[in-house]
Structure 1
């Protein structure tokens, strides 16, 4: 399975790079990640729990960074094993560039599974890979940009001053 995409992150490239090389932030971005240790120089070790269709599994694996150009790009390679599910492998090329208002993150991901996971069906696995990638980059964006501030509430009139909407009229709540 191969997917690619890009994200605009409202933060300087150095901040995005720092997040992409932090075990703590990476752990928070990987759905189901229970443990992440290590660093960019020697790699990371991770434990991730996932439910894939009818299979619930805990993967133990390693993640390595290669082709590192600090602040600009790297290739991240991960491999995980689970007794219950089999093997999952993935490679992603990550590239950062400056854009107005922040950083553009471009990615290309290749993922593959083996053993029991391969028997679940390509469509199920492909959908999972897309959801995990979206979840990861959503989490990264939130970790770097911070939560979005909620909009200030609009002035609300007294309930008795409101005219009933279509739902209120349907339910028989007419204005007296």
Structure 2
């Protein structure tokens, strides 16, 4: 399923870029993230607890940031496993600065397997889009909090 959208942040491109590469920001923005541990540069393991419909459960996740072109874009890869199945995502995240705001654009694919996949595609697509949009909205909120200081 395709997941794409954009969020406008009242901050410079560098401020947004720095936030998108900060493990603490990533942890606070990832829905249900209890633990985020950097295992090597731009590679993380996470414990995530989601309480949303068919994807409800505890997940062990791997998150990687690849193909960086600072401060313009990178590719974000995520794989999460639980007793209910798995969720995989791969997205390109692009930043576009138009003073005084920066637009975060994301475009990618998500796949599910296991028992989770038994849920209707339209429902899963809606849940995936909601989770991703929530992530980027939380990134924007975190940046706004940091730049207000």
Q: TM-score, normalised by structure 1?
A: 0.77
Distance change >3 Å, CA 96–CA 54, structure 1 → 2: closer
RMSD: 1.9
CA displacement at 1:111 relative to structure 2? 0.6
Name the CA distance, whole Å, in 2 between partners of 1:25 and 1:39.
16
CA displacement at 1:56 relative to structure 2? 3.0
Q: TM-score, normalised by structure 2?
A: 0.90
Equivalent residue for 1:62? Answer: 62
Q: Which runs of 4+ in 1 moved over 4 A?
A: none
Contact 2:63-2:77 at 8 Å conserved across structures: yes
Equivalent residue for 2:107? Answer: 108
CA displacement at 1:110 relative to structure 2? 1.0
Q: Which runs of 5+ in 2 are unaligned?
A: none
Contact 2:79-2:86 at 8 Å conserved across structures: yes
Deviations 1:19-56 (A, max 9, x none): 11111111111111111111772401111111342563
Larger radius of gyration: 1
Equivalent residue for 1:2? Answer: 2
Whose RCO is larger (CA < 8 A, sep 6+)? 2
Alignment: residue pair count: 147
CA displacement at 1:66 relative to structure 2? 1.2
Equivalent residue for 2:89? Answer: 90
Bigger share in strand: 2
